[in-house]
Amino acid sequence: MSAASTGDEAIDMTDVDALYKMAEVSRVLRSATSTIEKFVHLASGTNDLTLMHCLVLVHLSRKASCKQLDLKSATGIAPTHLTKLVDELTHRGFVRRHRSSWDRRQIILALTAPGRETALRLLTSLHELTHKTQLNAIEELGSSLKRFVSTTANDEWLDRGSAHTNEVDQLDRGDMIVKPIN
């Protein structure tokens, strides 16, 4: 109920309202996040898994195994945070960590049986409860914001180039020899 919703919707929207909207979207986003997290709570039994935990679980459930590097680029989670998330998931017995014998710098991740079950239950919940409309809503969402950001980012005022290091992940085989660590 910011000042943005006091009359002529998108027509008379002033610049000020952009600020209100930003804050509102940010809040609603948290709300949506916690909604999804509730699904995982129900699916997993624990109440300690966040949206980012879900992301990791779901991504891993799609592949037999996955390099941590690919997980990073696929989810966009900061490496420093990813380490903690995998720590916690490993500690809960959902994920196993291996070290690649091919390139010993890399970590290979794989779900355990309970981890895979949990991920599948989460996906089932999401499938039952989300509808095309919602998915499309989220879809539009991302592109809308990206439009906003890219337009302003190219402006003369902002010299500092935004370090966008988005690389696609495509090169995971998941069939190399690995050894357990943790």
Q: Decide whether 62 or 179 has the Cβ nearer to DNA.
A: 179
The residue type at 12: D
Task: Tell me which of DNA, a copy of itself, none is bound by residue 38, counting a contact when its beta carbon lies within the kind-specific cut-off of 5 to 8 angstroms.
Answer: a copy of itself
SS3 content of the chain, % helix, strand, coil (to 5): 55, 10, 35
Closest distance between a copy of itself and the C-beta of residue 180, in Å? Answer: 27
**What is the four-CA torsion angle of 24, 30, 34, 40, rounded to 10 degrees?**
140
CB of 179 to a copy of itself, least distance (A): 28
Kindly indicate which of the ranges 1-9, 96-104, 130-138, 172-180 contains the residues binding DNA, using the contact rule CB under 7 A: 96-104
Q: For residue 45, what are the contacts with CB-CB under 8 A and spacing of at least 6?
A: none
Query: Residue 100 is inside which H or E element, if any?
Result: strand 95-100
Which residues 95-134 are close enough to bind a copy of itself by CB under 8 A? 123, 125-127, 129-131, 133-134
| Minimum CB distance to DNA smaller for 30 or for 62 | 30
Total residues at interface with a copy of itself (CB under 8 A): 77
